[in-house]
Amino acid sequence: MGPELSQRIERIYTDERDRILATLIGLLRDFDLAEEAMQEAFAAALAQWGGSGIPENPRAWIVSAARHKALDRLRRDTAFRAKFPDLQRSIQEADAKESEGNPPVPETDDTIADDRLRLIFTCCHPALATEAQVALTLRTLCGLTTGEIARVFLVPPQTMAQRLVRVQRKITEAGIPYEVPPEASLPSRVDSVLVTIYLIFTAGYTASAGEFLLKTDLCTEAIRLGRLLASLVPQQSEPRALLALMLFHDSRRNARTDSEGDIVLLEDQDRALWNHAAIQEGVELLAGVLHDALRNGTAGSRYSIEAQIASIHATSATPQDTNWPRIAALYAELRELAPSPVVELNEAVAIAMAEGPEAGLERLAALERSGQLANYHLLPAAQARLLDQLERWPEAIDHYTRALALARNEPERRFLNARLDRARQLNSQSPSYSSNR
């Protein structure tokens, strides 16, 4: 086989893998089996297409070949047959349907029957624990290996393998249907998917600041899934809001750390390094979302508010151009909608930028008293920053020290240590220092 042909087959693999796998999962009802059958089918393609040429519909060919590989195995292997008692029947039913000219998988309701959509909704069914949803989505839609997913969750590979088996078993045995939810339950089901996609994005975001590297970039995967969902469920605006939010966050990936791997804060980043094409796309998506909300008379959602905040940062040419009062107001709105101590923390920081450090410190003190963020390093870190600005060095030192104790990885520790050293230095130079000795 010539290099050109194998390149084309590789291209087909890259482009069609997702849809083929989703179709096979629907048919065979087992994720590992579907993957195995798909690999064997592609091997067959490599062997046969050199002679017969690339078929007109490569995807259908591969799906068909995979089906027959699975059927073959059923005939040969009795242990396999016992493990998948309904498999033979469902394959034969699908074969019969196809020979009648019907597609291999039935349409449900009046929604588009893209198998990837079915797969996303099944993986993110609310009857599954959120962690299980994330693990399964990473496995089936993002193609991560069990070992890679184990690293994301910081568990041994064996543990992750067991979790994946358990969740697949629940799907089959508890009767979670492999279908796109009906229109009426679409909003809440879409919500479940968005939570999972955003968790994947957050994992990727933290990973890029941490110590472990994955072959697959999780932020890129999350954005890809977000795009897929937005295109397959166009009538819902939430997916577009989340996509905009992720694009804004990701646009700063090349500016967030310096050449040493150290953290560069938003206000210190070189904005020329931001991905302005991604920002532009986010701006357009967000405009569409807000326009829909206005037209439908619906209130802002969690993702659209967060996206609006991110948009203000992303479209400010310099830190000084940032509309902090507007950001503070948006955080207040977010707090009403989806209250959380982290939202309050961010609101306090925005208030500090809009009204001065004392105003921010007041809010942060209240947050500290509530005890909700007792183990979150960004609370004392935020307090330390504001105390820095007010040149209240002893207090700043105290808070940087507390933040350091809670820091989660090396880059965070290095950053806080640098600020701590600076505060100590400035403290020893200050006039009140010697009088306090």
Partner 1 sequence: MQYLLLIYHNEATTPDPDSPEMAAGRKAYADFTTEIRESAHFKGGNALLPSTHATSVRVRDGKTLLTDGPFAETAEQLAGYYLIEAANLDDAIAIGARIPGAKWGSIEVRPVRAMATLVA
Of the candidate residues 173, 369, 371, 435, the single one contacting partner 1 (CB under 8 A): 173
**Amino acid at position 406, single letter:** L
Indicate the residue among 85 and 101 with the shorter CB distance to partner 1: 85
Distance CA 68, CA 112 (A): 26
Q: Of the ranges 23-31, 32-40, 171-179, 248-256, which one interacts with partner 1 (CB under 8 A)?
A: 171-179
- Closest separation in Å from C-beta 174 to partner 1: 5
Residues 6+ apart with CB under 8 A from 305: 330, 333, 334, 337
Instruction: Report if residue 234 touches partner 1, rule: CB under 8 A.
Output: no
Q: 107-140: string of b/e by CB count within 10 Å (b at 16+)?
A: eeeebeebbbbbbbbbbbbeebeeebbbbbbbbb
**Region 319-348 residues binding partner 1, contact defined as CB under 8 A:** none
- Closest separation in Å from C-beta 176 to partner 1: 5
Q: Of the ranges 89-97, 174-182, 195-203, 236-244, which one interacts with partner 1 (CB under 8 A)?
A: 174-182
Q: Of the ranges 42-50, 52-60, 73-81, 175-183, which one interacts with partner 1 (CB under 8 A)?
A: 175-183
Q: Of the ranges 177-185, 209-217, 221-229, 428-436, which one interacts with partner 1 (CB under 8 A)?
A: 177-185
Q: Of the ranges 170-178, 225-233, 339-347, 383-391, which one interacts with partner 1 (CB under 8 A)?
A: 170-178
Is-contact 264 239, C-beta < 8 A?
A: no
**Region 98-157 residues binding partner 1, contact defined as CB under 8 A:** 125, 127
Of the candidate residues 54, 176, 378, 406, the single one contacting partner 1 (CB under 8 A): 176
Of the candidate residues 147, 177, 187, 234, the single one contacting partner 1 (CB under 8 A): 177
**Contact code string over 390-429 relative to partner 1, x by CB under 8 A:** ----------------------------------------
3-class state of residue 257 by DSSP? strand
Indicate the residue among 115 and 179 with the shorter CB distance to partner 1: 179
Instruction: Report if residue 175 touches partner 1, rule: CB under 8 A.
Output: yes
Residues touching partner 1, count (CB under 8 A): 10
**DSSP letters along 282-349, please?**
HHHHHHHHHHHHHHHTPPPPHHHHHHHHHHHHHT-SSGGG--HHHHHHHHHHHHHHS--HHHHHHHHH
Nearest to 22 by CA among 34, 12, 9, 11: 34
* The two structure tokens encoding residue 234: 């166009």
Instruction: Report if residue 297 touches partner 1, rule: CB under 8 A.
Output: no
- For residue 263, report the phi and psi dihedrals to the nearest 5 degrees: -70, 135
Of the candidate residues 181, 204, 282, 360, the single one contacting partner 1 (CB under 8 A): 181
- Closest separation in Å from C-beta 184 to partner 1: 10
Is-contact 105 113, C-beta < 8 A?
A: yes
CA angle 343, 349, 350 (to 5 degrees): 90
Binding site for partner 1 (CB under 8 A): 85, 125, 127, 173-177, 181, 185
